[in-house]
Amino acid sequence: MKIVFLEPLGLKVAQIEAACEGLKKAGHEVVIYPDRNENPDELKRRAEGAEVVIESNIPLRKDFLDACPNLKMLSIAFTGLDHIDMEECQKRGIIVKNAAGYSTEAVAELAIAMMVDVYRKVLENDAITRQCQRKGIMPGREIGGKTIGIIGMGNIGQRVAKLANAFGCKVLAWNRTPKQVEGVTFVDKETLLRESDIVTLHIALNADTRDFITEKEFALMKPSAILINTARGPVVNEMALADALKQGKIAGAATDVYGTEPPLKPENPLFGAPNLVMLPHIGFATEEAFVLRLGIVVENVMRWINKE
């Protein structure tokens, strides 16, 4: 069986080769491309003849699948699958497995870091320091004692809750299905938005969660509240977020995700919004998470081959 890594998944080829020893010993051909290339024609060339393709978040649509008639499985080194044409895969009987759970710690820690950044105005004070000044330093706020509202209580949301508890925060949560989580009080969406000093998003993107936060929701939040988004960009209406920041409906925000993947277009409304920290979708990107997800995607392939 031909197994192709379309990209090195942020790791060295030697690391991938070591993880694939079991596949090679079982007689499978493993091809690893040492660079990331999103050119559609190049992707088709790389996948030629493959029965299994492994990649992270490069969009794979119908035209790619048309060029891969032998394809039987996609092992995706990512949590979300919205970049994969799932409907076409189902029609063709192509199995798609994601790398669930690999970035739980990475994303949760980044969410907390973004809260600290917005509250302590880290970037603004860095700029003042680099101008060789102290005059005009910007005092911040403390997370300790604040109410953090977590929307979405999967693995990442629950990990954020534990970290927030360590800061001495009161933790509220909304989840489609209420759960029992120590140190967390489950409330309805409106109560969470009204009472939280910090609202952090950890829900999947689907038809029900697109534009989950828009003008109506910002109107419910405290003027002193901040919003953190490490979930999916379209969960928040970008124009509504920009307007809320410009009009002082909320005090600040930080986002790692957008309606389209970075690089962003210059006309994106968020560029004109004040008190906003913007990161280039790095929540999943830690050395530890990359190693963990490699193990998951290889195991997914082996389990599929062994019909487990």
Question: What pairing do the DSSP bridges indicate for beta strands 73-76 and 95-97?
Answer: parallel
What pLDDT was estimated at residue 52? Answer: 98
Ordered by start, the domain boundaries in the chain are 2-102+286-305, 104-278
d(CA 12, CA 291): 10
DSSP 44-96: HHHTTT-SEEEESS--B-HHHHHT-TT--EEEESSS--TTB-HHHHHHHT-EE
Q: Which residues pair with 226 in a beta bridge?
A: 198, 252
DSSP 1-26: -EEEESS-TTS-HHHHHHHTHHHHHT
User: How many beta carbons lie within 10 A of that of residue 45, not counting itself?
Assistant: 11
DSSP annotation of 264: P
d(CA 198, CA 221): 9
d(CA 36, CA 68): 19
Is the distance from CB of 77 to CB of 101 less than 8 angstroms? Answer: no
Q: What is the pLDDT along the chain (308 residues), one digit of tens a residue?
A: 999 999 999 999 999 999 999 999 999 999 999 999 999 999 999 999 999 999 999 999 999 999 999 999 999 999 889 899 999 999 999 999 999 999 999 999 999 999 999 999 999 999 889 988 877 788 899 999 999 999 999 999 999 999 999 999 999 999 999 899 999 999 999 999 999 999 999 999 999 999 999 999 999 999 999 999 999 999 999 999 999 999 999 999 999 999 998 999 999 999 999 999 999 999 999 999 999 999 999 999 999 999 98
Residue tagged 């759960």 (tokens): 179
Q: Which CATH architecture fits 104-278? A: 3-Layer(aba) Sandwich (3.40)
d(CA 152, CA 202): 5
2-102+286-305 CATH choice from 3.40.50.720, 3.40.190.10, 3.40.50.150, 3.30.1330.60: 3.40.50.720
Residue tagged 């009472």 (tokens): 195
Query: Which positions are catalytic?
Result: 232, 261, 281
What pLDDT was estimated at residue 43? Answer: 98
Domains 2-102+286-305 and 104-278 in one fold = yes
Residue tagged 């970049």 (tokens): 83
Distances (CA, A) of 109 to 27, 161, 162: 40, 11, 11
Query: Whose CA is closest to 172, among 208, 200, 141?
Result: 200
Is the distance from CB of 173 to CB of 186 less than 8 angstroms? Answer: yes
Q: Is 189 exposed, middle or buried, given 0-12, 13-18 or 19+ CB atoms closer than 10 A?
A: middle
What pLDDT was estimated at residue 134? Answer: 79
What pLDDT was estimated at residue 137? Answer: 83
d(CA 84, CA 96): 9
DSSP annotation of 276: E
What pLDDT was estimated at residue 53? Answer: 98
